[in-house]
Structure 1
Amino acid sequence: MTDSNKEVLKRANDAITKGDYEGFLSFCTEDTKWIFLGDKILEGKEAVCEWMKTAYAEPPIFMVENLIAEDDFVIAIGKIKTKNEDGKMILSSYCDVWKLRNGKLAELKAFVIETE
């Protein structure tokens, strides 16, 4: 189960880096919940989709350093490059803790710190 959960996250992230946000959302539960600690909470696919339209106007670049899976959880640790509102590339370090339910991404707790 843990290897298949890792594969779900890898395939979902691959869709994001290609700008296929609908493809990414197909890996999420309808009631997916994203918690950006210290920032915001998104509830449901529609809220995530709306957020992606602005935050990921240009697809992000993931540099995954570690993927750790246990039971229904997958933890991704690495760096991510995104464009800010001024069009400047920003490098951040992140730790995403994903909880899966029935093979889909149900909840995210994201710890993201700009490093550049």
Structure 2
Amino acid sequence: MSEKNKAILEQGNAAISKGNNEGFLSCCTDDTEWTFVGDKTLTGKEAVRQYLAATYIEPPKFMVANLIAEGDFVTALGDIILKDEDGTAVHYSYCDVWRFRGDKIIELRAFVIKT
């Protein structure tokens, strides 16, 4: 199951990298919950959809250093570059802990730091 979950996350990230937010959302449960530690929590696929549309003005650039999977969890450690509203590239380091239910993402706990 662990390797399958890694493959699902990689598939979702590949979709996001191409600007295909719906492709990523197809990897999520309808009741998915994303917590950005110290910031906000998104509840449900529609809230995540709105977040992706507002945050990923252009497709992000992911540099995944490690994907570590065990049981229903996949942890991703890496860096991401996002463009802000002014078109300026902003660099972040992150550690995402994804939890799966079946073949879908049900939860994210994201630790993100602007670097």
TM range (shorter): over 0.9
> Which position in structure 2 is the counterpart of 1:29?
29
Q: 2:42 corresponds to which letter in structure 1?
A: L
Flag as ranges the 4+ runs of structure 1 deviating above 4 A. Answer: none
Provide, for residues 49-72 of structure 1, a one-character-per-residue CA deviation record: whole Å limited to 9, x for no partner.
Answer: 011111001110100000000000
Counterpart of 2:95 in structure 1 is 95
Query: How far off is 1:86 after superposition?
Result: 2.0
Secondary structure of the structure 2 residue equivalent to 1:12: helix
Residue ranges of structure 1 left out of the alignment (5+ in a row)? none
Query: What do residues 29-52 of structure 1 show as CA deviations (whole Å, max 9, x unaligned)?
Result: 000000000111000010000111
Deviation at 1:3, TM superposition (A): 0.4
Q: Count residues in correspondence.
A: 115
Q: What's 1:64 paired with?
A: 64
Task: Note the C-alpha offset of 1:85.
Answer: 2.1
User: How high is the sequence identity, in percent, across the aligned residues?
Assistant: 57
- Paired position in structure 1 for 2:18: 18
AA partner of residue 4 (structure 2): S
1:103 CA displacement: 1.1
Letter in 1 for 2:109: K
Conservation of the 8 A alpha-carbon contact between 2:57 and 2:84:
no
CA RMSD of aligned residues (A): 0.5
Q: Secondary structure at the match of 2:54?
A: helix
Q: Secondary structure at the match of 2:79?
A: strand
TM-score (norm 2): 0.98
The alignment's TM-score, normalised by the length of structure 1, stands at 0.97
Aligned partner letter, 1:39 = D
Structure 2, unaligned runs of 5 or more = none
